[in-house]
Amino acid sequence: MDSNTDAVPLLTTKTIPKNAHFTGDVEDIPPITGINDFFVQFMIESKKLWFLAGPLIFTTVCQYSLGAITQTFAGHVGTLDLAAFSIENSVIAGFALGITVGMGSALETLCGQAYGAGQMEMLGIYMQRSWIILFVTGLIMMFLYIFATPLLLLIGQTEPISHAAGKMALWMIPQLFAYAANYPIAKFLQAQSKIMVMSVISGVALVLHTFFSWLFMLKLGWGLWGGAIVLNFSWWFMVVAQMVYILSGTCGQAWSGFSMAAFNNLWSFVKLSFASAIMLCVETWYFMALVLFAGYLKNAEIAVDALSICTNILGWAIMVSLGLNAAISVRVSNELGAGHPRTAKFSVVVVVLFAFVVGVLLAIILVIFRHQYPAIFASSLEVQQAVYALTPLLAACLVINNIQPALSGVAIGAGWQAAIAYINIACYYIFGVPLGLIMGFALNWGVKGIWVGMLTGTMVQTIILVAICYRTNWEKEASMAENRIKKWSGQKGVVGE
């Protein structure tokens, strides 16, 4: 890719950073000239990738499972409770999560490349800037939670679901600000490969969350109110525990305390964060829209319940791919920051191969247990039958949506957010959504039609990302990464600044 995706101009000379050893490589990998070279480098890169991806997959699965477990218990409270939580979790919280994670991905690019170049002192400053921006963003998004009921009624959701989901949204406002605190911390720790602590904290939170959700929602009969209490507590537990780890001095030069420097260059950081948010939000909202459109079908409660169970399972699988997403983002950003373009390029090849294999394995497991898994998520036989009918589509999604997030991680690591945002909008909302609506409503294919159309949009986007990665000039990307580091750390000598 002769990348025009970053407005930062190139340096006229290429300099390998003195602290390139932060990535674990003193030099770039040699050119691969044969099968033996490929397999040797594949094994080396696989170890580095899975050193990051294993704990990150565990972390993302645990964090996603907090809401998914609450949704599972809601399915045993009642069909309206399940529909209400699904709408709140997918539409309201999903919207907020998309904004938060999206804006946080700017931090992922900057921290990863700064770490690769040995600019350790900038990581804490970047995290604090991101906190400022995300907490202000949270204050703005809070109105979405407060006025959730009239907004859901405005877009055509049924009155019972809208009122129940709106009440749930008010209870979940603390989670919104936990998102704003958590994701900058996560990117800060990921860039340094300090991921085991995130895994341990997330695992403890999941165990506590599962027990107390069962206790409050089912045993004590508190229903959705009990679920909201536990879900808010679980997210804030993770935030506080991670901050205790950081403040204990374990991050060395990366955290030197709170600094007024975090308020410098805020507007430029906002613009970069906004581009990142657009890129990831359109992906997150795509599945939110799938559940939303199901609410317009006949027998909406069953349609929403069945689709929410499928997206719940798909979400768990996507958490696996998001572990690869975060890992490849760290690998690419670190290697580009250290001036290792060939290593960065080869990392992309390795992650795509692994993402495909994992997606196929998950799809096979789902098909094998297709008669058993619907009963885990709902007591209603009608809902179980609807889920069973959607299993083939769900299996196809597991493969495609395992590759796509890994490729998005490459884009984040390289800093291509702005260009990928335009591609996502075109593939998802100009092509995928209209096709899904035509197939679902005009052709009367129902939920299957909506899903097939939108899945086609995802396939087109994935093909385009593969083509972009194949055509990328990685030597140029390494030069751009060096220039980006100088720009954001305030160093002089950036051409065109």
132-184 confidence digits (pLDDT tens): 989 999 999 999 999 999 988 887 778 888 888 899 899 999 999 999 999 89
- Of the candidates 279, 280, 313, 290, the residue with the CA atom closest to the CA atom of residue 454: 290
Name the percent of the chain lying above pLDDT 90: 20
Per the rule left: phi > 0, alpha: psi between -120 and 50, beta: everything else, 252 is: left
Residue 13 confidence class, pLDDT cut points 50, 70, 90: very low
DSSP 262: G
Comparing 43-52, 260-269, 278-287, which segment has the lowest mean pLDDT?
278-287
Residue 331 confidence class, pLDDT cut points 50, 70, 90: confident
Whole-angstrom Cα distance, residue 363 to residue 392? Answer: 9
Given a cut of 90, is residue 338 above it in pLDDT? Answer: no
Tokens for 207, please give them: 């165990």
Question: Are 71 and 240 contacting, i.e. CB atoms less than 8 angstroms apart?
Answer: no
Given a cut of 60, is residue 11 above it in pLDDT? Answer: no
Kindly state the average pLDDT of the residues 221-234. Answer: 90
> 279-330 pLDDT, tens per residue?
777 776 776 677 777 777 776 777 777 877 887 788 777 777 778 888 888 8
Neighbours of 393 (CB within 10 A): 16
- Of the candidates 87, 84, 64, 66, the residue with the CA atom closest to the CA atom of residue 74: 84
- Of the candidates 305, 295, 288, 292, the residue with the CA atom closest to the CA atom of residue 386: 305
Comparing 69-78, 462-471, 487-496, which segment has the lowest mean pLDDT?
487-496
Contacts 24+ apart (CB under 8 A), 66-71: 66/205, 66/206, 66/209, 66/231, 66/234, 66/235, 67/93, 67/231, 68/312, 68/315, 68/316, 69/206, 69/209, 69/210, 69/213, 70/209, 70/213, 70/217, 70/227, 70/230, 70/231, 71/308, 71/312
